[in-house]
Structure 1
Amino acid sequence: MDKLPSRGNQSCKGSYQFDGSILLEVKKSFRDVDNVLYDWTDAPSSDYCVWRGITCDNVTFNVVALNLSGLNLDGEISPAIGQLKGLLSIDLRGNRLSGQIPDEIGDCSALKSLDLSFNELYGDIPFSISKLKQLENLIFKNNQLIGPIPSTLSQIPNLKILSLQNNRFSGQIPSVIGLMQALAVLDLSYNMLSGTIPPILGNLTYTEKLYLHCNKLTGSIPAELGNMTKLHYLELNDNLLTGHIPPELGKLTDLFDLNVANNHLEGPIPDNLSSCTNLNSFNVHGNKLNRSVPLAFQKLESMTYLDLSNNRISGYMPSSLGDLEHLLKLDLSNNHLSGPIPQELGQLQNVFLLKLENNNISGDVMSLANCVSLTVLNVSYNNLVGYIPTGNNFSRFSPDSFLGNPGLCGYWLSSSCHAPRPAERDIMRMTENLSEKYIIGYGASSIVYKCVLKNCRPVAIKKLYSHPHCLKEFETELETVGRTTKKKKLDWDTRVRIALGAAQGLAYLHHDCSPRIIHRDVKSSNILLDKDYEAHLTDFGIAKSLCASKTHTSTFLMGTIGYIDPEYARTSRLTEKSDVYSYGIVLLELLTGWKPILTKAANNSVMDTVDPEISETCKDLGEVKKVFQLALLCTKRQPSDRPTMHEVVRVLGSLIPPPEAKMFAPTTTQLAPLQSHKVQCYVDEYANLKTPHLVNCSSISTSDAQLFLKFGEVISQNSV
């Protein structure tokens, strides 16, 4: 049997040399404006298996993956790509490629993933794609593709993700898509598709996400969609759908996002939807729905976003809405509601947006004074009477919020309230008392307004959803944030203390609170530092409690991109380990000084990425590696592989030097000794298992091997 050509022998003939020649042919069709493919060369010493974006099989040296995403490549996709027979993955997303998708791409018979999204490709989807029988992911979103969706795509037996959104596809949805049993994600949104939704889509019993919104679909919503029992997301909004909302959708007990807004639906909201107990977001805005708000909605205890606005809903607001304790946004505006505002709405401690305008609501608004997080309120053009509550809760709302209620009197700023400073008065005047029209964005715990000052300088005004319990302390923290944006150098001990302080805060939320609290937005900007650089975890605007009987909760995805747990993003199942992942990202930031991008890590490459300031101030670089290992553990793909925050606290606590040792250590930033009352004496779960007689003592010494034994190998080639 002939030997395979060696990696270094470029004169050998065979597939190794052959694939290199093909890649150079592929490169010719690209306009490499930033010279990112400079190492793609036919020089004798050039090894294409180490070229940028290339992955080879270790035995055959065939190219198995081509990843050129986000490289600003111009030009077209060369037909020569079809000659790379061993390709398993092609990722060209996020470039500026134009032209048509070459038919020859269908010759890559082993291909499992094809991602050409976020380019400028045009023309039809070639029929040759249907020859890719091993294909699992087909992602062409955000291009300029046209024509009908080929029915031959149904011939790909293992296709799990079909993502064609934001193109110019027209015609009807092929009914044969309903035969693609392996589909987990079907996204045809933001196209020009017409005709009806095929009822046969109800056969897709393994599909988790169905996105058909922003098309020109007509007809009714098929009752058969109620058979898609694995469905988490169902978005049919912004079409031309008619008829009723089928009560069969109540069988979708895993559903947590249902959006049918901006259609021509009529009739009542089905009571059956109350069976969707994981429903987190429900939007029927802009239809012709009538009858009343279902009383059974009180069962939807996970609901955070409820929009029934711009319909013909009548009757009283049910008091059961006050049972939706996690509700953040409630919009019932532009309907035919009557009766008083239920006192129970005052129980909504987390709601920050409440819109009831343009109804026939009577009574007073006093109960809303108890909604302490309320930031956006509009009760205008109703039949309300009585006095507007005084005090800071209502001082944030503009007069427009109460217009059109002749019987409503009073002004929400009493003479005993805190008088605004001149700068505050200018801001309020320039933004018309923070009118809605100046809103430029919603954060996790605040609303951001644009204000142009008298000197023509634009500034952003951040208004917290929850009014601070102690205004002076909050202002002090903001001043601290302002000081620590001045590129202070942080020595190693300072970084460890910051990491430990944040970890102690999370450990308290996860393990010592009843019910447990998941922060949901752990990131570096939500960790404030006092004058001694002690860390304070802040911004609980989207925090969520988790009762003791549950291991997780299904919830609408919230948080900050880059810090969100990928498992939470994929399944929408929230656990404490979601915070642990976000904390791991923060830990990597502390170590590197940069916003981290998770990649494969090996033992011999850890120190290459560490901030040089650490190397200069840390006496034992083994400690740095230990924290790096801890960060990688926190960001493991599987939540069960991540440590608890108790265990994180134990590892970091073992690195804090005693106060007397700190006095003689040269540092860049001087810190006060860690106060004993700040050190939480947590019951370590690992100690409970291995040394139950040593619990409740913060002085326990545990070896590195013991600390990481529970999690298996600390760092491997696929640790993240």
Structure 2
Amino acid sequence: MTPLLLLLLALAAGAGAASFPADFANLFAAKAALSDPSSALAAWDPGLSPSLSPCRWPHLLCSNPSSSSSAAIAAVLLSNLSLAGEFPAPLCELRSLARLDLSYNDLTGPLPGCLAAMPSLRHLDLAGNGFSGEVPRSYGAGFPSLLTLSLAGNELSGELPAFLANVSALEELLLAYNQFAPSPLPETFTGIRRLQVLWLAGCNLVGDIPPSIGSLKNLVNLDLSTNNLTGEIPSSIGGLESVVQLELYSNQLTGSLPEGMSALKKLRFFDAAMNQLSGEIPADLFLAPRLESLHLYQNELTGRVPATVADAAALNDLRLFTNRLVGELPPEFGKKSPLEFLDLSDNRISGEIPATLCSAGKLEQLLMLNNELVGPIPAELGQCRTLTRVRLPNNRLSGAVPPDMWGLPHLYLLELAGNALSGAVAPAIATARNLSQLLISDNRFAGALPPELGSLPNLFELSASNNVFSGPLPASLTVVTTLGRLDLRNNSLSGELPRGVRRWQKLTQLDLADNRLTGNIPAELGDLPVLNSLDLSNNELTGGVPVQLENLKLSLLNLSNNRLAGVLPPLFAGEMYKDSFLGNPGLCTGGSCSSGRRARAGRRGLVGSVTVAVAGVILLLGAAWFAHRYRSQRRWSTEDAAGEKSRWVVTSFHKAEFDEEDILSCLDDEDNVVGTGAAGKVYKAVLGNGARGGDDGAVVAVKKLWANGGAAKKAAAMEAGGGGGGGGGGGKDTFEAEVATLGRIRHKNIVKLWCSLSSGDRRLLVYEYMPNGSLGDLLHGGKGGLLDWPARHRIMVDAAEGLSYLHHDCAPPIVHRDVKSNNILLDADLRAKVADFGVARAVSAAPPTAVSAIAGSCGYIAPEYSYTLRITEKSDVYSFGVVMLELLTGKAPAGPELGEKDLVRWVCGGVERDGVDRVLDARLAGAPRDETRRALNVALLCASSLPINRPSMRSVVKLLLELRPESKEKAMAEEKPLLV
């Protein structure tokens, strides 16, 4: 017995334990070898509770617990306690130990070989730690009683340990998500006859699935997903007579699905999505009697959906989207099945929608967009009160929508755009209290919009353009305070715009163009704080242009082809708005009115007087502007007190027709400041002559970096300490780093750098302007209600694609190093772009090197950085996971409401204590639970404490697109070229 154990026994005896078994002394030694930051093992101390039997201490189970003298440790359960250090060797001395669970801690170092000699050990779980190196070969020769071996989610390397097949008693073998060398699936594993669970996802498996896999008659769960397996799925898989769950998704499997799977009498879940499978779906697959979930999406499957799908008595989740399926669906599909989720999008399925899809009364999501469906929407779907999401756009549907369907009580998304549907929107829509998005553009709907639309408390988007709606815009719509987008373009609406629109405080887009609207433009439109797109063109509006519209921060303004008259407000008289008022001959522009408005002789004197007065005002304003411009130019053109001029060096990265004078003139007005940070100030610059070479019109953002002295040194110190600076830059400062990084990037989800300007120690960066600012400001600044679930998901995808481009498509790859919500900017359509590359670094082929200063921002820094100071792509993945949690919870990454925890720990604790729903943002109450829960899982996977457990950003993009299958179609449609 070691001196430490003797000492511990003596201490225990001195504390009042008359007879204290050696097992407990070994526990004390193990505790002493571990770092326990959360004091989870504090109760393992006889000095604190001498009368309490050690068998009643937490995290322990004993054999014969009633006897303090003969009790022995049977189970040590230390999962998810934040324990750190190497494996505590004294645990190997617990000769009676049957179960050891150290999963999901921060243990590192090699796997202990001594475990293999423990005679009673039956269940060993070391998953979710940082163990590295190869699996000891002693594991293949020991473990006489081992039933469960879980090493998943570590940093193990070397060859996949095929010798574990020698542990003949194994029932569960879990090696998933380790860094094994590319290896085929060992044939020897198929010889473990008692095996029930084989989890080898993400193990870098290559080659074919061996036909001998079918010999595992006791196998319940087979997971080979997320590998590089090739070849066909062997027909012998039909011999897995006990299998319940079969996961083969995200490989490179080819060929046809095997026949004979109807013999799998216990199969409930089969997922072979995201492969390259071809041919037809075998008819007998749907005859597996317990089949509940079938995912075959994103393959190359052809032919019809088999008629046997109508006989699948247990089927509730069928996802076949993005294949090449054709033909009609069986007319009685769903009559015998408890369908809950059906997604057949992005195929060429024709015929009518089966009327029996909701016969079981459980259908929640019906997604059949982008097919060739014809005929009416079945009346039976109008009675399906469980529906939450219906997406049938871009088909050939016709006829009227069932009246009751408009008012389904749980429906939050109804998308019917791009069909030939007709009829009116029924008043029954008043009962659709959860409806958030009503998307019915490009149809033949007619009649008046019902006033009942005003009774929808959650309506965010009403898109009904290109229909034949007539009559007035319902005044009741103005009470819908949640409205964010209203698009009724190209209808036959008439009458005046309703009063009370100032209640639309969340409205970002208003498009009523190409109607027959009359009356004045309501001045209260100028009170809408986030409106950035206003199109009232091609109507019959009269009166003047309200001066209050100058309050808006607009990316699009179109009032052309109306009957407007009077003097334009000064802001709109500039060149950048020259196309916004065409076709209004009664408008006064540039100090002169059209001849028609000056024709009456009786008004000439008045007009002349007004003209003189206006000219005088303009002259005074012009003189003041000239003096201001002169002082600005003078200040920015002097290098020192001697007044010696210096030239600005302009480096352009995109073609643009503006020069330094256009930029410098905006920097003298503090009203143009839209942000201030450690690196400098950001100005909004409205350029008089326009950036005609760009995509964003004549508005740009200008970052004026601090100079080298005074405040600049303070800012540099702040940046080095709080997430902006960073050593290891070879003398490059923020300006040079950002220019070097952004200047060579071309991607739709990376903020565009137009040019840079430098003169001495003065530096300017000119970016595209993002009207909606940063995600952090919008989400946490009281306007988070503008972001519904589809918008938040789209932001996640956009930002993930931007980071994926940096990590995987740049040569060399780029690590951003300061991913946070304030560095994700939003354009007018709430599309996201990654910004602020002042601390970005290229990743060389060499191992990551340590840096001399902190990179990142509080709450976003990956935990391993605190003790390694090493930056990799996985650091960005962690930070992105935190951004996802912000979007899902609505909470900042750190703050008083989280207590002493950061957001990741707060979410983990909340989920464990109260469940998923309690941590989600209350403003997402109408979002589909399945999607938000899966998104939370992706976020927590990204924010895993172990870098090896975090997926690549390329995988994150795939996971996010899979969350909302319809988003993949949009992503493909918007891809165009990837580089812009």
Give TM-score scaled by structure 2 length.
0.46
Higher relative contact order (CA 8 A, sep 6+): 1
Residue 376 of structure 1 aligns to which amino acid in structure 2?
L
Separation of aligned partners in 1, 2:724 and 2:908: 19
Shift of the 622–87 alpha-carbon distance from structure 1 to 2, 3 Å rule, reads farther
Question: Whole-Å Cα distance in 2 between the matches of residues 589 and 39 of structure 1?
Answer: 46
Alpha-carbon distance in 1 for matches of 2:771, 2:488: 32
| Deviation for aligned residue 1:259 | 1.6
Closer/same/farther in 2, CA of residues 216 and 39 from structure 1, 3 Å limit: closer
Gaps of 5+ in 2: 1-144, 149-163, 174-186, 192-203, 230-236, 592-617, 634-647, 660-689, 709-718, 727-748, 753-761, 764-769, 800-815, 824-846, 855-862, 914-935, 942-980
- What percent of counterpart residues are identical? 24
Paired position in structure 2 for 1:67: 248
Q: CA deviation at 1:241?
A: 1.8
Matches within 5 A, 1:437-448: none
Paired AA for residue 410 in structure 1: T
Identify which of 310, 318, 332 aligns with 2:490: 310
> How much has 1:238 moved relative to structure 2?
1.8
1:238 corresponds to 2:418? yes
Q: What does residue 355 of structure 1 align with?
A: 535
Instruction: Kindly report which structure 2 residues correspond to 1:251-290, keeping only aligned pairs within 5 A, or say none.
Output: 251-290=431-470
Deviation at 1:355, TM superposition (A): 0.9
C-alpha distance 196-206 of structure 1, shift in aligned 2 (>3 A): same
Alignment-derived partner of residue 392 in structure 2: 212
Which residue does the alignment assign to 1:563?
A: 796
CA distance in 2, matches of 1:126, 1:243: 34
- Report the CA distance shift for 1:538/1:72 in structure 2 as closer, same or farther (over 3 A): farther
Q: In structure 2, what is the Cα distance between the partners aligned to 1:310 and 1:87?
A: 52
Q: Which stretches in structure 1 are left out of the alignment for 5+ residues?
A: 22-34, 431-452, 481-490, 499-522, 532-536, 567-582, 591-610, 651-682, 688-700
Q: CA deviation at 1:559?
A: 4.0
Question: What CA distance in whole angstroms lies between the structure 2 residues aligned with 1:148 and 1:202?
Answer: 21
Letter in structure 2 aligned against 1:203: Q
1:342, CA displacement in angstroms?
1.0
SS in 2 for 1:361: coil
Q: CA deviation at 1:374?
A: 0.8
Q: State the match for 1:323 in structure 2.
A: 503
Give the match's secondary structure for 1:383.
Answer: coil
Given the alignment of the two structures, is residue 649 of structure 1 paired with residue 869 of structure 2, yes or no?
no
Cα 1:273–1:525 shift into 2, 3 Å: same
1:403 aligns with 2:582: yes
1:476 corresponding residue in structure 2:
704
Using the TM superposition, give the Cα deviation of residue 89 of structure 1 relative to its aligned residue in structure 2, in angstroms: 3.1
Of 144, 158, 165 in structure 2, the residue corresponding to residue 8 of structure 1 is 165
Q: Which amino acid aligns with 2:245?
A: V
Confirm or deny: 8 A CA contact 2:273 2:297 kept in the other structure. Answer: yes
Q: How does 1:112-123 map to 2 (within 5 A)?
A: 112-123=292-303
Q: Which of 899, 918, 923 lines up with 1:686 in the alignment?
A: 899
- Give the aligned partner of residue 427 of structure 1: 656
For residues 589 and 83 of structure 1, do their structure 2 counterparts lie closer, same or farther at Cα, with a shift above 3 Å needed? farther
Check whether the contact 2:779–2:787 (CA below 8 A) recurs between aligned residues.
no
Structure-2 separation of matches of 1:282 and 1:706: 36
In the alignment, is the contact (CA less than 8 A) between 2:449 and 2:474 conserved in 1?
Answer: yes
- Which one of the candidate residues 335, 353, 360 is aligned to 1:173? 353
Distance 1:625 1:181 in 2: 55
Q: Counterparts of 1:524-535 in structure 2 under 5 Å? A: none
Report how far residue 429 of structure 1 moved.
9.3
CA contact (8 A) 1:277 1:300 kept: yes
1:373 aligns with 2:602: no
CA shift at 1:396, angstroms? Answer: 7.1
Partner of 2:686 in structure 1?
none
Q: What is the RMSD computed on CA atoms of the aligned residues?
A: 5.8
Alpha carbons of 1:191 and 1:363: their partners in 2 closer, same or farther (altered >3 Å)?
same
Give the AA of the match of 2:899: Y
The separation in 1 between residues aligned to 2:461 and 2:897, in whole angstroms, is 37
Do the aligned residues in 2 keep the contact of 1:350 with 1:371 (CA within 8 Å)? no
In structure 2, what is the Cα distance between the partners aligned to 1:162 and 1:584? 40
2 CA distance for matches of 1:122 and 1:92? 15
Rate the CA distance shift 1:322–1:624 in 2: closer, same or farther, 3 A. farther
Partner of 1:540: 773
Residues 461-500 of structure 1 correspond to what in structure 2 (within 5 A)? Answer: 461-462=695-696, 474-476=702-704, 495=723
Pair 126,396 (structure 1): closer, same or farther in 2 beyond 3 Å: farther
The answer on whether the counterparts of 2:513 and 2:536 sit within 8 Å (CA) in structure 1 is yes
Amino acid aligned to 2:894:
V
Check 1:709–1:406 CA distance in 2 against 1; reply closer, same or farther (3 A cut). closer
Shift of residue 427, structure 1, vs aligned partner: 3.4
Deviations 1:396-453 (A, max 9, x none): 74533221111123259996499999989973699xxxxxxxxxxxxxxxxxxxxxx9
SS of residue in 2 equivalent to 1:121 = strand
Q: Is the 8 A contact 1:546 1:552 kept in 2?
A: no
Q: Relative to 1, partners in 2 of residues 1:539 and 1:339: Cα closer, same or farther, differing over 3 Å?
A: closer
Q: Is the 8 Å Cα contact of residues 297 and 320 (structure 1) preserved in structure 2? A: no
**Contact 2:513-2:537 at 8 Å conserved across structures:** yes
Cα displacement string for residues 161-194 of structure 1 (whole angstroms, at most 9, x for unaligned residues) = 1111222222222221242411110112222222
Q: Is the 8 A contact 1:643 1:711 kept in 2?
A: no
d(CA) in 2 for partners of 1:354, 1:425? 28
Q: Which moved more, 1:95-104 or 1:246-255?
A: 95-104
- 1:402 alignment partner, SS class: coil
Q: Which position in structure 2 is the counterpart of 1:164?
A: 344
What SS does the corresponding residue of 1:152 show, helix, strand or coil? Answer: coil
| Alignment-mate amino acid for residue 196 of structure 1 | P
User: Residue 375 of structure 1 contacts residue 397 of structure 1 at CA under 8 Å; is this kept in 2?
Assistant: no
Change (3 A) 1:424 1:112: closer
Listed as ranges, the matches of 1:537-686 within 5 Å are 540=773, 555=788, 557-559=790-792, 561=794, 563=796, 586=819, 612-613=848-849, 623=866, 644-645=891-892, 648-649=893-894, 683=896, 686=899
Q: 1:73 to 1:363 in 2, by over 3 A?
A: farther
| DSSP-derived class of the 2:422 partner | coil
Residue deviations 1:249-290, cap 9 Å, x none? 121011011122122222111001111121110011111111
State the shift of 1:352 in Å.
1.3
Matched, 1:149 2:366: no
Partner secondary structure for residue 510 of structure 2: strand
Q: CA deviation at 1:562?
A: 7.0
> Is the aligned partner of 1:38 residue 2:207?
yes
Q: 2: distance between equivalents of 1:169 and 1:51?
A: 31
Deviations 1:140-166 (A, max 9, x none): 122222222223331453321111122
Distance 1:368 1:123, change over 3 A: farther
Alignment-derived partner of residue 305 in structure 2? 125
Partners of 1:496 and 1:83 lie apart in 2 by 60
Amino acid at match of 1:427: A
Per the alignment, residue 441 of structure 1 pairs with: none
Distance 1:223 1:399, change over 3 A: same
- Paired amino acid for 2:656: I
Q: Which moved more, 1:250-259 or 1:400-409?
A: 400-409
Structure 2 distance, partners of 1:369, 1:552, is: 23
Residues 145, 167 of structure 1: 8 Å contact kept: yes
**What's the offset of the Cα at 1:94?**
3.5
Distance 2:559 2:337 in 1: 54
In 2 relative to 1, CA 333–60 (structure 1 residues): closer, same or farther, beyond 3 Å?
Answer: same
Query: What amino acid is the match of 1:686?
Result: G
Residue 19 of structure 1: how far off its partner (Å): 11
Residue-pair matches, total = 542
Instruction: Give the corresponding residue for 2:961.
Output: none
The Cα offsets for residues 608-636 of structure 1, whole Å up to 9 and x where unpaired, read as xxx94459989x959459999x9699769
